[in-house]
């Protein structure tokens, strides 16, 4: 095998993000639920015989980006003589809280484990992923998950796969800066997975029914009662600090609601920032089992229309698992 082409590196959203403390090494402990979405970067990996690792493409990323670091870490760990040319095609916005860079690095580890025929275990790849960053292990884990610790304590969780509207303002946010602005003096008690699961079972079903009813009324030309999205479970403890650092995060939540209203799409729940921002998202009502492109003709290619200049937004479907999970299962 000489090359692998068009390997997907999916984005993720955080349904909530609770920061529970700070370790002596400076890392923050947290609780969150990760879900993969179908907004993906793509990578080509071409094997080299000379051991050289290089990244190709004019994408304004540094030469020593996380993809190159992942390849070199794997090369050292496996004592591999091969090298690789990495061609990364970015689609996921940077500094958005969508995990694009972490996902790219994980796809490099997964792809090179196969391309170089290393045969490293899932557990070994997870250990290597954690050395690259706290968000990288979830993309090796390969399943939507409840996460604790610094993000490496993962428990698989079954999630629905609805459509999410995601909006990213023109400017991103530094994760380090957002965590530096965090006030840990008033944090709430740790949550339990059972509480989230119960909300998922009951609250989601009710909100989806309301959204589907509203959609039927709109199709039939009925006025109906004013739809009010329900509150999301938990919170994002980083959102307030992120909004102080970048006011466009708050503006993005307003724009998200306005864009969905113009495109006759209803959010099931209040919008929320994902990760450390600056992207925000909302679950789109009534879209769990349908193509949003058919739901409304104004939705073109899953891109959200009428956004401010240099903003990005699209409708993304939640995924039940990582697209390369069949390569990384233990």
Instruction: Please report the pLDDT score of residue 79 as a whole number.
Output: 97
Q: Is the pLDDT score of 202 beyond 90?
A: no
Structure token digits, residue 110: 């997964």
Distance CA 245, CA 5 (A): 39
114 by DSSP, 3-state: which? helix
Instruction: Please report the pLDDT score of residue 282 as a whole number.
Output: 94
Annotate 266-277 with b (16+ C-beta within 10 A) or e (fewer): bbbbebbbbbbb
Q: To the nearest 10°, report the CA torsion of 291, 295, 298, 301.
A: 0
pLDDT band at 208 (very low <50, low <70, confident <90, very high): low
The reply to whether 38 belongs to the active site is no
The upper half-sphere exposure of residue 311, i.e. CA atoms within 13 Å in the direction of its Cβ, equals 24
Instruction: Please report the pLDDT score of residue 6 as a whole number.
Output: 97
Q: Is the pLDDT score of 225 beyond 90?
A: no
| Least-confidence region, from 161-170, 238-247, 265-274, 281-290 | 281-290
Instruction: Please report the pLDDT score of residue 237 as a whole number.
Output: 94
Omega cis (within 30) before 278: yes
Distance CA 53, CA 65 (A): 12
Instruction: Please report the pLDDT score of residue 178 as a whole number.
Output: 94
pLDDT band at 287 (very low <50, low <70, confident <90, very high): very low
89 by DSSP, 3-state: which? strand
Q: Put residue 6 in one of left, alpha, beta given phi > 0 → left and psi -120 to 50 → alpha.
A: left
| Least-confidence region, from 36-50, 223-237, 255-269 | 223-237
**Nearest by Cα to 109 from 86, 93, 134, 81:** 86
> Where is pLDDT greater, at 160 or 26?
160
The reply to whether 12 belongs to the active site is yes
15 by DSSP, 3-state: which? strand
Q: Most confidently modeled of 104-108, 267-271, 303-307?
A: 104-108
| Least-confidence region, from 111-115, 118-122, 207-211, 273-277 | 207-211
**pTM of the model as a whole:** 0.90
pLDDT tens-place string over residues 94-143: 999 999 999 999 999 999 999 999 999 999 999 999 999 999 999 999 99
Beta sheet of 312-317, edge-to-edge order? 272-273, 280-283, 163-168, 312-317
**Nearest by Cα to 309 from 265, 251, 260, 270:** 251
What are the residue boundaries of the structural domains of the chain, listed by start? Answer: 3-158, 163-317
What does each C-alpha distance from 71 to 123, 142, 229, 329 come to in angstroms? 17, 19, 44, 20
- Burial (CB < 10 A; 0-12, 13-18, 19+), residue 154, is buried
> Where is pLDDT greater, at 176 or 299?
176
> Where is pLDDT greater, at 265 or 110?
110
pLDDT band at 295 (very low <50, low <70, confident <90, very high): very low
3-158 CATH: 3.30.230.10
Residue 43 and residue 92 in contact, taking contact as beta carbons nearer than 8 Å: no
Catalytic residue among 12, 44, 104, 237: 12
Average pLDDT value over all residues in the chain: 87
Catalytic residue among 38, 44, 104, 135: 135
Residue indicated by tokens 């709109």: 218
End-to-end CA distance of the chain: 22
Architecture of the domain defined by 163-317 = 2-Layer Sandwich (3.30)
Residue indicated by tokens 């992923």: 129
pLDDT band at 289 (very low <50, low <70, confident <90, very high): very low
2 by DSSP, 3-state: which? coil
Instruction: Please report the pLDDT score of residue 254 as a whole number.
Output: 96
> Where is pLDDT greater, at 61 or 199?
199
- Burial (CB < 10 A; 0-12, 13-18, 19+), residue 126, is buried
């Amino acid at each position: 095998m000489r090359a692998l082409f068009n390997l997907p590196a999916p984005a993720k959203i955080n349904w909530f993000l609770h920061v529970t403390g700070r370790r002596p090494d400076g890392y923050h402990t947290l609780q969150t639920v990760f879900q993969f979405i179908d907004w993906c970067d793509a990578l080509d990996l071409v094997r080299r015989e000379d051991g050289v690792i290089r990244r190709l493409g004019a994408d304004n990323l540094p030469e020593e980006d996380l993809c190159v670091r992942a390849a070199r870490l794997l090369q050292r760990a496996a004592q591999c003589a091969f090298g690789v040319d990495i061609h990364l095609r970015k689609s996921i916005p940077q500094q958005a809280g969508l995990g694009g860079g972490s996902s790219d690095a994980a796809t490099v580890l997964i792809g090179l484990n196969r391309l170089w025929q290393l045969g490293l275990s899932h557990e070994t790849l997870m250990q290597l992923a954690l050395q690259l960053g706290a968000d990288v292990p979830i993309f090796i884990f390969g399943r939507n998950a409840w996460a604790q610790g610094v993000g490496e304590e993962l428990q698989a969780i079954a999630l629905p796969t609805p459509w999410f509207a995601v909006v990213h303002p023109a400017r991103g946010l530094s994760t380090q800066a957002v965590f530096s602005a965090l006030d840990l003096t008033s944090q709430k008690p740790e949550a339990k997975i059972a509480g989230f699961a119960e909300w998922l079972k009951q609250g989601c079903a009710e909100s989806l029914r309301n959204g589907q009813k509203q959609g039927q009324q709109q199709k039939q030309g009925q006025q109906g009662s004013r739809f009010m999205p329900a509150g999301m479970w938990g919170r994002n403890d980083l959102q307030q600090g992120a909004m102080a650092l970048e006011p466009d995060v708050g503006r993005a939540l307003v724009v998200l609601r306005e864009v969905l209203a113009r495109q006759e799409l209803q959010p099931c729940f209040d919008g929320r920032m994902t990760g450390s921002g600056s992207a925000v998202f909302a679950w789109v009502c009534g879209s769990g089992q349908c193509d949003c492109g058919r739901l409304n003709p104004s939705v073109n290619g899953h891109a959200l229309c009428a956004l401010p200049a240099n903003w990005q937004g699209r409708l993304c479907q939640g995924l039940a698992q990582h697209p390369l999970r069949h390569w990384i299962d233990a």
